[in-house]
Amino acid sequence: MIDFIKGKIEYIGQDYVVIENNSIGYKVLTSAYTVADLNGKSDNAIVYTQMIVREDDISLCGFSTRAELKVFDLLRTVKGVGTKVALGILSSLPYVQLLNVLSAGDVTSLTRAPGIGKKTAQRIILELKDKVDKSDEFKSLESIDFEKNIINMNTENDEAIEALVSLGYSKVEAQKAMKGIDDNLPIEEMIKQALKMLVK
């Protein structure tokens, strides 16, 4: 079992990264937030991994924090939520916000993830709400890397990203462009600065 991989980021895709260790390139499926976090970390990057074995496929999923990996594993305990759906949810909601959504029973926020309808969202909340509320482990995760994830919880930041996506940019491109932009700026100015980065 591969617990983590430490090495050089050779390539960053929209929903995966390739990390090189000892002349071997590992393709690791991941969330948009880990992709954005690893962008620019070319050397000595670390990805915490989970190997997913199925009859017709073996894939490696990984994240820049153990906390996000734990939430990924939690999502996969729900019937009907496989690797693709779990990664889609974590690409739509940073794991800190997702834990809050589950605890609050917020169906609407969960349906914003690709492929998640109302019934699926209700089932996910039904199966995971008590696990999140009653587990000291998941309560503690809500504080892990809080400062690192708080930018992703900023409403105006999210709105700016959505606006860029509506203009035809991918979510990863939009997140990269928004990185480093002052959250206190008006949303219109945030979008203008992001567009300048994107057209360079």
CATH 1.10.150.20 fits 66-146, yes or no: yes
Per residue in 58-75, pLDDT tens? Answer: 999 999 999 999 999 999
Per residue in 148-161, pLDDT tens? Answer: 444 444 556 777 88
What DSSP element (H or E) covers 108? Answer: helix 107-110
CATH code, 154-198? 1.10.8
The reported pTM is 0.71
CA distance 87 to 69: 10
Reply yes or no on whether the pLDDT at 126 is more than 60. Answer: yes
Per residue in 86-98, pLDDT tens? Answer: 999 999 888 888 9
First to last CA, the chain: 42
Domains 66-146 and 154-198 in one fold:
no
Residue 164 — very low, low, confident or very high, per pLDDT cuts 50/70/90?
Answer: confident
Mean pLDDT of 173-184: 79
CA distance 15 to 19: 13
Phi, psi (degrees; rounded to nearest 5) at 199: -95, 0
> What CATH architecture applies to the domain 4-63?
Beta Barrel (2.40)
What is the dihedral angle through the alpha carbons of 108, 154, 34, 147, rounded to the nearest 10 degrees? -130
Q: Where are the domains of the chain?
A: 4-63, 66-146, 154-198
Token pair 């809080």 in the structure block, residue: 146
Tokens coding 39? 């962008």
